[in-house]
């Protein structure tokens, strides 16, 4: 992929030299291309249609009324860190002490903090792809070289070859980065695979950064398998998470990071020099979401399951489309056999039928030809999108 800025532009404006390695984001580019059209129907971005539920909004507004508008503790109010700890006990049956739970200004910020705490110049990150491009951007900004190991689509399922992953580790590899469940593929790592990767990382003395932002967006169980199940409080493991998807809070910017006990101080210091932690009243609203959000999550999953079924019926009825089984998340990552170039296919969909989807090449080296559709929308919107998709064959 071409560099973000050419050398002359960079030198001329005297930006940081490493920015030369920051690669462009084809997904963001396509979204901007679509937004030019007033009648655009966009399922290109990763968020639902539902507004944040009232019980969460009420906590934030009440907290503001009560004067919770000042600086809060950088890693989060102790009460909300306790809410997170209780959440892990209740939902995952895990004992994660509050001193390993750090509230952050988003899942993205959690990723930046994790990377910033471990990367030296010249370090490498080994990322399982396809992957949400912003995470690769975060590693690039932190000056890491990113190597990729690709999932493979086999017999209608995405698969990770663990031997290939382990063989790709080099002496410079500082961390393995895995998103499970995966944006964009909907692939979900199995429990025994998680254990094998954790054992390998221990042996090699490297970090794992697991993004479990979609850990609750699963269709047949309460949560996806988690790295935390097999880890001890001393393992070199970061788990990134967010309130954005499960609680319909994308615009609030609130997430969390789980780290080893020994990371608390370093993450606190980096967060202090970053944004000094998330907004006070937003943290408190997050606490309410954790305590009272289960019914809301269940309602969303029901709606998204119905949409997944509609999509599967659509793909089954249209043989030019191929989509592996969607195990989790609210994304369909599919191909149209007649349209191998995803950038021009996405542009064509925008130009011809005002439908904006995300091009596969935005998600890593091996997903050229794929398209991502976010189905966390109303049934009516999904049906309209599929009608438009049908018109460009």
Ligand X SMILES: Cc1ncc(COP(=O)(O)O)c(C=O)c1O
Residues that bind ligand X (CB under 6 A): 46, 106-108, 132, 179, 183, 211, 213, 242, 244, 250, 255
Phi-psi region of 217 (alpha: psi -120 to 50; beta: other; left: phi over 0): beta
Q: How far is the CB of 359 from ligand X (least distance, A)?
A: 15
**Which of residues 45 and 229 has its CB atom nearest to ligand X in the complex?**
45
**The tokens 């984001």 sit on which residue?**
25
Q: Which residue in 84, 87, 94 sits closest to 294, CA to CA?
A: 87
**Which of residues 108 and 336 has its CB atom nearest to ligand X in the complex?**
108
**Which of residues 44 and 314 has its CB atom nearest to ligand X in the complex?**
44
167/220 Cα distance (integer angstroms): 33
**Which of residues 314 and 364 has its CB atom nearest to ligand X in the complex?**
364
Q: How far is the CB of 331 from ligand X (least distance, A)?
A: 9
Which helix (H) or strand (E) covers residue 150, if one does?
A: strand 145-150
Dihedrals phi, psi of 222, to nearest 5 degrees: -70, -30
**Which of residues 178 and 336 has its CB atom nearest to ligand X in the complex?**
178
**Which of residues 48 and 53 has its CB atom nearest to ligand X in the complex?**
48
Q: How far is the CB of 265 from ligand X (least distance, A)?
A: 24
Using the 8-state DSSP alphabet, how is residue 358 labeled? Answer: E
Parallel/antiparallel/unpaired status of strands 173-179 and 207-211: parallel
Q: How far is the CB of 31 from ligand X (least distance, A)?
A: 12
**Which of residues 109 and 117 has its CB atom nearest to ligand X in the complex?**
109
Residues in the chain: 393
Q: How far is the CB of 184 from ligand X (least distance, A)?
A: 8
**Which of residues 48 and 98 has its CB atom nearest to ligand X in the complex?**
48
Q: Cα 136–137–142 angle (5° rounding)? A: 100
Q: Cα 179–377–300 angle (5° rounding)? A: 70
Dihedrals phi, psi of 372, to nearest 5 degrees: -110, 130
305/314 Cα distance (integer angstroms): 14
Q: Which two tokens stand for residue 78?
A: 């102790």
Q: How far is the CB of 214 from ligand X (least distance, A)?
A: 7
24/1 Cα distance (integer angstroms): 8
25/131 Cα distance (integer angstroms): 12
Q: Which two tokens stand for residue 288?
A: 């309410």
**Which of residues 44 and 98 has its CB atom nearest to ligand X in the complex?**
44
367/390 Cα distance (integer angstroms): 22
Q: How far is the CB of 107 from ligand X (least distance, A)?
A: 3
Alpha-helix residue ranges (DSSP H) falling in 93-244: 107-118, 133-141, 162-167, 191-204
375/235 Cα distance (integer angstroms): 36
Q: How far is the CB of 106 from ligand X (least distance, A)?
A: 3
Q: How far is the CB of 80 from ligand X (least distance, A)?
A: 16
Q: Which residues contact 88 (CB under 8 A, 6 or more apart)?
A: 94, 95, 96, 228
**Which of residues 223 and 388 has its CB atom nearest to ligand X in the complex?**
223
Q: Which two tokens stand for residue 188?
A: 């979900």
Q: How far is the CB of 207 from ligand X (least distance, A)?
A: 17
């Amino acid at each position: 992929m071409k560099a973000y800025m050419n050398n002359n532009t960079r030198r001329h404006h005297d930006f940081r030299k490493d920015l030369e390695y920051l690669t462009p984001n084809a997904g963001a580019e396509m979204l901007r291309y679509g937004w030019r059209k007033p009648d655009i129907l966009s399922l290109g971005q990763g968020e639902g249609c539902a507004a944040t539920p009232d019980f969460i909004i009420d906590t934030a507004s009440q907290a503001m009324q009560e004067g919770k508008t000042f600086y809060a503790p950088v890693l989060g109010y102790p009460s909300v860190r306790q809410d997170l700890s209780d959440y892990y006990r209740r939902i995952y049956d895990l004992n994660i002490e509050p001193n390993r739970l750090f509230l952050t200004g988003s899942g993205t910020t959690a990723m930046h903090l994790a990377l910033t705490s471990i990367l030296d110049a010249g370090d490498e990150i080994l990322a399982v792809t396809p992957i949400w491009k912003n995470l690769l951007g975060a590693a690039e900004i932190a000056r890491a070289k990113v190597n990729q190991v690709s999932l493979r689509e086999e017999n209608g399922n995405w698969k990770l070859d663990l031997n290939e992953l382990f063989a790709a580790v080099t002496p410079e590899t500082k961390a393995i980065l895995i998103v499970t469940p995966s944006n964009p593929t909907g692939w979900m790592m199995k429990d025994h695979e998680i254990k094998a990767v954790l054992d390998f990382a221990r042996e090699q003395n490297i970090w794992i950064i697991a993004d479990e932002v979609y850990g609750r967006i699963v269709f047949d169980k309460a949560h996806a398998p988690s790295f935390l199940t097999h880890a001890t409080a001393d393992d070199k493991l970061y788990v990134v998470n967010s309130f954005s998807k499960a609680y319909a809070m994308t615009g609030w910017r609130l997430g969390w990071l789980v780290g080893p006990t020994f990371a608390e101080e370093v993450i606190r210091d980096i967060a202090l020099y970053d944004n000094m932690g998330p907004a006070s009243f937003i943290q408190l609203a997050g606490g309410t979401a954790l305590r009272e959000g289960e019914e809301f999550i269940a309602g969303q999953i029901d709606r998204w399951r119905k949409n997944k079924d509609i999509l599967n019926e659509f793909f089954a009825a249209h043989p030019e489309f191929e989509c592996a089984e969607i195990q989790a998340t609210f994304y369909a990552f599919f191909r149209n056999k007649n349209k191998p170039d995803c950038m021009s296919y996405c542009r064509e969909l925008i130009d011809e039928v005002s439908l904006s989807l995300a091009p596969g090449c935005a998600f890593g080296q091996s997903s050229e030809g794929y398209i991502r559709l976010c189905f966390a929308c109303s049934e009516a919107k999904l049906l309209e999108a599929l009608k438009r998709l049908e018109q460009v064959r």
